[in-house]
């Protein structure tokens, strides 16, 4: 009995380690079965991947927007961070759609392209609303209970998409996003260009205080200033010692070189990598925020 108990305990520990530290895997063959086609608000035909949880719908739904590295690996499988969050969100009983802004436009990653051809203040908010309208036509989705969730470049796109008076928002839209969540967006340009930023829907931001790629303080200031202007409520959590991509399931801490025309030299060396404490706190925070958002 003791030996059996130890074996069961060991298997439980192994299961916990797999859930918490190993990257989720969504191979290309599985992705194809979940692929859907939708049209961006700018008229571009795009691909998304739609997953339902167990049980009968209609479901509360999350629309995920990837970062500048894109949604898919070179072999066609889903990137580990997005796959991990897909698993987390479906485990909470949500339907999930992942919108791919890059593949149909002929790109994989744009992180090292100085003059980026797909912009968070241009095409990608159109993509968000195109995906929203597709979701709202699905019988398994509650059309008024869809949350937009983005990472890095996708989080920047989210902020542009849900700002009050955003030009990409369809005029005849019956239901907007219920709320939005953004992980480590860049806010310097947005704050400079839109001096009176206000959000049309509630927003939760998750930022790392050690992030030297998309610095956290401009986003924290953006939220505080927007709230003072009467914005839909913006909140943020800032995690000590956390770099960019701190919520990745198992990305080692390292430096990379990223290119962008907004940088004075055209490129910048930055830190990225997982932070287990910040990741755990952010996952718990997102779960709570979504539960509260959908309870109203």
CA distance to 51, 59, 68, 96, 141, per residue, from 34 (Å): 7, 17, 22, 11, 15
- State pTM to two decimals: 0.90
Q: How far apart are CA 36 and CA 223, in angstroms?
A: 34
Q: Are 260 and 266 in contact (CB under 8 A)?
A: yes
Average pLDDT for 63-73: 97
Tokens matching residue 272: 């990225």
HEC string of the chain equals CHHHHHHHHHHHHHHHHHHHHCCCCCCHHHHHHHEEEEECCCCCEEEEEEECCCCCCCEEEEEEECCCCCCECCCCCECHHHHHHHHHHHHCCCEEEEEECCHHHCCCCCCCCCCCCCCCCCHHHHHHHHHHHHHHCCCCEEEEEEEEEEECHHHHHHHHHCECCCCCCCCCCCCCCCEEEEECCCCHHHHHHCCCCCECCCEEEEEECCCCCCCHHHHHHHHHHHHHCCCCCEEEEEECCCCECCCCCCCCCEEEEEECCCCCCCEEEEEECCCHHHHHHHHHHHHHHHHHHHHC
User: 17 pLDDT exceeds 60?
Assistant: no
Most confident of 6-10, 24-28, 83-87: 83-87
The domain locations on the chain are 34-295
pLDDT at 24: 66
- Paired with 207 in beta bridges are 238
Residue 251 backbone phi and psi in degrees, to 5: -90, 120
Average pLDDT over residues 111-129: 95
Phi and psi dihedrals of 90, rounded to 5? -65, -35
CATH of 34-295, one of 3.40.50.300, 3.40.50.1820, 3.90.180.10, 3.40.50.720: 3.40.50.1820
Give the confidence band of 296 by pLDDT, cuts at 50, 70, 90: confident
d(C-alpha 162, C-alpha 139), whole Å:
24
Q: Is the pLDDT of residue 1 over 60?
A: no
């Amino acid at each position: 009995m003791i030996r059996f108990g130890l074996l069961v305990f060991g298997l439980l520990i192994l299961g916990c380690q797999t859930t918490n530290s190993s990257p989720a895997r969504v191979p290309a063959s599985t992705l194809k079965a979940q692929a859907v086609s939708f049209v961006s608000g700018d008229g571009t035909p795009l691909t998304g991947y739609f997953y339902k949880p167990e049980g009968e719908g209609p479901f509360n739904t999350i629309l995920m927007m990837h970062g500048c590295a894109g949604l898919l690996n070179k072999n066609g499988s889903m990137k580990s961070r997005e796959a991990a969050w897909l698993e987390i969100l479906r485990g909470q009983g949500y339907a999930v759609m992942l919108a791919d802004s890059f593949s149909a436009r002929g790109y994989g990653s744009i992180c090292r392209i100085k003059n980026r051809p797909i912009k968070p203040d241009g095409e990608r908010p159109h993509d968000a609303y195109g995906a929203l309208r597709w979701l709202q036509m699905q019988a398994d989705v509650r059309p008024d209970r869809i949350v937009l969730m983005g990472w890095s470049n996708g989080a920047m796109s989210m902020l542009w998409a849900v700002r009050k008076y955003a030009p990409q928002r369809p005029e005849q839209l019956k239901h907007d996003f219920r709320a939005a969540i953004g992980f480590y967006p860049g806010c310097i340009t947005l704050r400079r260009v839109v001096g009176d930023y206000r959000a049309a829907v509630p927003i939760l931001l998750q930022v790392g205080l050690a992030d030297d790629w998309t610095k956290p303080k401009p986003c924290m200031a953006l939220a505080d200033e927007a709230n003072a202007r009467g914005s839909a409520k913006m909140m943020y959590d800032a995690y000590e010692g956390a770099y960019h991509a701190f919520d990745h399931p198992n990305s080692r801490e390292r430096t990379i070189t990223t290119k962008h025309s907004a940088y004075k030299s055209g490129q910048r060396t930055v830190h990225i990598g997982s932070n287990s404490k910040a990741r755990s706190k952010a996952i718990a925070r997102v779960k709570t925020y979504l539960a509260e958002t959908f309870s109203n």
